[in-house]
Structure 1
């Protein structure tokens, strides 16, 4: 990777596939960014770049790589693919780039009892890496298995489709209310319709929501 490519990728700032770090001061925390990329659409982590996108560089790129690689090996389960690039900024400073493709082996988790009290999956939303809800994690796990999904399209499902035509988005709690189903039944229906490629789940720190597949929100 050349410096011109780095500048092209970072010019619009952090987003769903771009993350900046000036240095790797707490590698055990940074690994969640890479896990989130692997669980979502892939992405690039740039080390030696300020939050505002200005280039700072690091003097000893091998130290940054050693620290982060060790944390990835220790905390990230299952393992995911990534590539590392060291790009010259000046004669004695460098940009380190971790490139993570979207994984076919999701859901990847950070396993850290001290920080997370166990095992936690992350996904990328806009310019943030957020904890994946149990519903998001289940969908990631079941999508990996790639089994065909069948479900009956009854009155409750028709009610859901009518609601989405008028409102575009729906949560489990909203579907529970309009359908008269309990929380478990409502969540099962929505998850199955995501797996059947009828709906799409949108992770959120407050409450996940669902839309028809391909609807921009």
Structure 2
């Protein structure tokens, strides 16, 4: 089995996406940025969602990809490409590495720079909490030995719920939203709280150390 067939057998997942062709540079920029903000990834252009190889003109697709990475990603992304073949059909493989200094933003249709991440086979908008965690990780502080009353209230509310959304945490604790946001970001960097980002929403649960 050649390497292309091996990739296709994996299907679409967190680090792999199939594209029939690339018509919208802005839209593909979101996928590239999401890969860079998560675990890196691979685009196979010339492959349908069901894995059927239809082939493309690699040169045409290459120019759109380069434009997306240069003009619609901030900072500009470096992408690697190679041409793969299935019988007489050509597929363009595009790979993106995970970046160290997150986030990479992509320009949306309204002209706004937004942050995207990859979860399973979905490209999703990053939450303000995740963006805050990335920033905080650059100056990570040590976990305290004890928590004050408000901190313990947040942790107990999350623990009792098993998992909870941010909006429900706001409602149940009745603390100021910005204050909860700041503490959640700290808890996540301390590995006290875990954040699970899914296509159905973002959920918080307490870590194993509590």
Tell me, in whole angstroms, the C-alpha distance in 2 between the residues paired with 1:80 and 1:123.
15
How large is the Cα RMSD of the aligned pairs?
2.5
Unaligned runs of 5+ in 2: none
> Taking structure 2 as the reference length, what is the TM-score of the superposition?
0.85
Matched, 1:96 2:89: no
Partner residue in 2 for 1:129: 123
Tell me, in whole angstroms, the C-alpha distance in 2 between the residues paired with 1:99 and 1:146.
30
Tell me, in whole angstroms, the C-alpha distance in 2 between the residues paired with 1:178 and 1:69.
47
CA contact (8 A) 2:195 2:204 kept: yes
Matched residues, number = 208
Tell me, in whole angstroms, the C-alpha distance in 1 between the residues paired with 2:139 and 2:8.
34
Unaligned runs of 5+ in 1: none
Aligned 1:36-47 pairs, distance under 5 A: 36-47=34-45
CA contact (8 A) 1:172 1:190 kept: no
Partner residue in 2 for 1:87: 84
Q: 1:175 aligns with which of 166, 169, 172?
A: 169
> Taking structure 1 as the reference length, what is the TM-score of the superposition?
0.83
Tell me, in whole angstroms, the C-alpha distance in 2 between the residues paired with 1:14 and 1:205.
15
Aligned 1:1-217 pairs, distance under 5 A: 4-58=2-56, 60-91=57-88, 93-112=89-108, 115-143=109-137, 145-148=138-141, 153-204=147-198, 207-213=201-207
